[in-house]
A and B are shown apart, each in its own frame.
Chain A
Amino acid sequence: MSESLIAYLLLSGTLAAIGVYGFLERRNLIGILISIELILNAASINFLAFNKFVSPDKGLGQAIVLLIIGLAAAEATLALSIILVLYRGMTSINIEEANHLKG
């Protein structure tokens, strides 16, 4: 099982689906940020799985995952500061209240 690509892919798929659920359901912005981290990690698992079983160059997938981790760090910083600014403006981080673009 640990030597089959599909197992890893299913794991990452499930993780991504859970992330999507949280992304769509959570109203707390930090909860949403956490969901995004889950989805990114699912992608990382995917890359490493393909790296191990498919790619001929075993360094490539690792390099990409390193980049993803770097991006995630940047994204988390920015997201947190955006949440902070949003809170200052609305005194709430409930995403359902950030609906000023309502039609």
Chain B
Amino acid sequence: MELFLIFTIVGSPLIAFLMIALLPHRLKRIAPLLSISFIFLSFLSSLLFFLKHPQIQETPFEVQWTWLQANRNLSFNVGFLMDRLNLLMLFVVSLVSFFVQVFSVAYMADEGRGQSRYFAFLSLFSFAMINLVASNNLLQTFIFWELVGLASYLLIGFWYQKPSATEASRKAFVVTRLGDLGFYLAVALLTLHLGNLNFSALNSPEAIQSLSGGMITLVTLLIFTGVMGKSAQFPLHIWLPDAMEGPTPVSALIHSATMVAAGVFLTARNYALFSASSISMETILIFGTLTAFVGATLATIQNDIKKILAYSTISQLGMMMMALGAGSFEAGMFHLTTHAFFKSLLFLASGALIHHFHTNDIWEMAQKGSRSQVLTLLVIAVGGLSLAGIFPFAGFWSKDLILEALEHKPVFHAAALLVSFFTSYYVFRLLFILYFRSETPHAHEEHHESSLLTFCMNFPLISLAVGSLIVGFMGTDLMHHKLLKFISPEAEGKLSIELMMTGTGIAVLGLAVAYWNYLKRKIQPPITATGFRRVLEKKYFMDDLFEKVFGRMVLAFSAFLNWFDKQMVNGKMVNGTAWSTLRLGALLTKVQSGELQDYLMIVFVIASAVIYFLVK
């Protein structure tokens, strides 16, 4: 029964993907239905699994089969592990996937033919992501890690007619691959030194003792490079803002809620291993802080609503990493959960705006009368307040938990406060521009969509808004820390009043500055770039750096490779091989004269020779 449930959880999106891919043309219209129902099935199964195993916190459920048995010390397994950590992730992934897919029905309604391709890719992504989460060993995780990357590539480049979209998908693919190289090396090293890649074995005290300290540091740092690529950590964050070229629901699902959180999840998964190396933990903390700061500051100057959210995602991922690096595993995972809800909510709401106004620019939206979209603005407010960490929204609880975790590291604590100031600033900037700076809408321009599509658009927004409220409370005293206890039974989750006050104070300060800038001084776009702002507009010169340094290096290297490929590989090796094969073949055809007696001669010579030299 457990096995059946697990297979339903991990397999149903694959079935959906295959069915959609194989649908005959006339039936392509039911693709969304298939995709949605199968992901819902997956969600229901994980819920059922949880209900059948309420004690999953104490006793994880694991099944595995041997895939390859090299020798007694080295075997590769396929298997699934169900414990508190990935059950939580399964809920998040399948639920957010479900809402995003429902929303996509409305958002992609005008796509026509492309719709079935879109839903097929979404199902593929869900399949890969759920399997990534459910795998019980590092190699399997790595395989699905790459598959998620592929699905992300396919979906960013969904509008392949747009050169910028294909460009962005390529960038995302290449940059994350750069990080995955490290991950791959880590897998290889661990295989070499432990021979068993199961998470339970990796994180067992024996394994950690059998590895030298340097090796643990090396391996965890290598894994972290993979995490940096996937979770858009500085300096590999550059692909994420470009990834916004994809359809907005995709950004909501992949590039905010689930896939980019995979890095955080992986770190949490191997937390025992990571904690064994203080150097790695420090590195994670530093990179997390840098990422959080860079993301938050960059988000303050963007005018494209999706770019704001993208940089905000980067910054929030940095915050999660900070929590993990500071040693508070449950704070990181809790923030991941709440973030998944309120960020996908924000993305979907921005998708609704984009769908309505046909623009990404917040100033243009304001000009076209964004104030009329009351429901959308309301849910943006819920998500935004949550993001800014205003009481009592979800982000408030999780962010304060992170601040709490950082309390004994003053520098990082200050950095986190600074980040929350910027976060609150850009959130209120967005809200003020969209609501208070909005022109009066032209009422007659309304075009009515069918009620089903309106429902598909509003239902996920409302559900996610409610969900992100509830999720926040589940981590608090009011709900007896249900969620926190679920993540980690030892978690205390006590928040001190001073900390709450500081957090809220910082957020209110951000609000005040935003109020001053956008409602009192009425800053208008475009704003002349000076000083720090110019640095921001250049995105800390990271893209330039990559362009100049890495780009040049890569270009030179690829020029060399091109030469090498043409001259050596193609010229000498491939053509040479082909040529020599042909010559050899021509020589051998002489042997194949077709004449019986020639063959007989060979037979006699060989038979005689064998006998002659065998007989002593």
Contact = CB atoms under 8 A, between A and B. Distances in A.
Direct contact between A and B in the complex (CB less than 8 angstroms)?
A: yes
Interface of A: 20, 23-25, 95-96, 98-103
Nearest to B600: A24
A90 to B, nearest CB: 13
B591 A103 contact: yes
10 contacts: A23-B600, A24-B601, A95-B595, A95-B596, A95-B597, A99-B595, A102-B592, A102-B594, A103-B593, A103-B594
Contact of A103 (B588, B597, B600): B588
A101 B589 CA distance: 11
A101 B598 CA distance: 12
Interface string B572-590: 0000000000000000111
A20 to B, nearest CB: 6
Contacts of A101: 592, 594
Contact of B593 (A20, A25, A99): A99
Interface string B156-175: 00000000000000000000
A96 B593 CA distance: 10
A96 B600 CA distance: 13
Given A23-B597, A103-B592, 8 more contacts: A24-B597, A24-B601, A95-B596, A98-B595, A100-B594, A102-B595, A103-B589, A103-B593
B436 interface: no
Contacts of A98: 595-596
Interface in B537-568: none
Contacts of B600: 23-24
A102 B600 CA distance: 15
Contacts of B595: 95-96, 98-99, 102
A70 B595 CA distance: 29
B593 A102 contact: yes
A20 B605 CA distance: 11
A92 B593 CA distance: 19
B594 A99 contact: yes
Most chain B beta-carbon contacts within 10 A, residue among A23, A98, A103:
A103
A12 to B, nearest CB: 16
Contacts of B604: 20, 24
Contacts of A20: 604
A19 to B, nearest CB: 11
Interface of B: 588-597, 600-601, 604
A103 B594 CA distance: 7
Nearest to A99: B594
A50 B597 CA distance: 31
A100 B593 CA distance: 9
Q: Which residue, B589, B591, B594, has most C-beta atoms of chain A within 10 A?
A: B594
A33 to B, nearest CB: 13
B487 to A, nearest CB: 71
Contacts of A103: 588-594
A12 B593 CA distance: 32
B603 to A, nearest CB: 10
A20 B601 CA distance: 9
Contacts of A95: 595-597
A100 B592 CA distance: 11
A78 B4 CA distance: 66
Nearest to B588: A103
Nearest to B601: A24
Nearest to B585: A103
A36 to B, nearest CB: 11
Nearest to A98: B596
A103 B595 CA distance: 10
B188 to A, nearest CB: 46
A86 to B, nearest CB: 12
Contacts of A24: 597, 600-601, 604
B332 to A, nearest CB: 69
A66 to B, nearest CB: 27
A79 to B, nearest CB: 13
Contacts of B592: 101-103
A25 B604 CA distance: 13
A25 B597 CA distance: 8
A95 B594 CA distance: 10
A99 B599 CA distance: 11
B425 to A, nearest CB: 80
Nearest to A23: B600
A21 to B, nearest CB: 10
Q: What are the 4 closest A-B residue pairs judged by CB atoms, nearest first?
A: A103-B592, A102-B594, A99-B594, A103-B589
A103 B590 CA distance: 7
A102 B591 CA distance: 9
Contacts of A99: 593-595
A23 B589 CA distance: 23
A18 B595 CA distance: 21
B600 to A, nearest CB: 6
Contacts of A23: 597, 600
Nearest to B586: A103
Contacts of A102: 589, 592-595
A91 to B, nearest CB: 18
Contacts of B601: 24
Contacts of B596: 95, 98
A20 B590 CA distance: 23
A84 to B, nearest CB: 18
Contacts of B588: 103
Nearest to B604: A20
B225 to A, nearest CB: 55
Nearest to A29: B596
A24 B593 CA distance: 14
Contacts of B591: 103
A60 B512 CA distance: 117
A23 B600 CA distance: 9
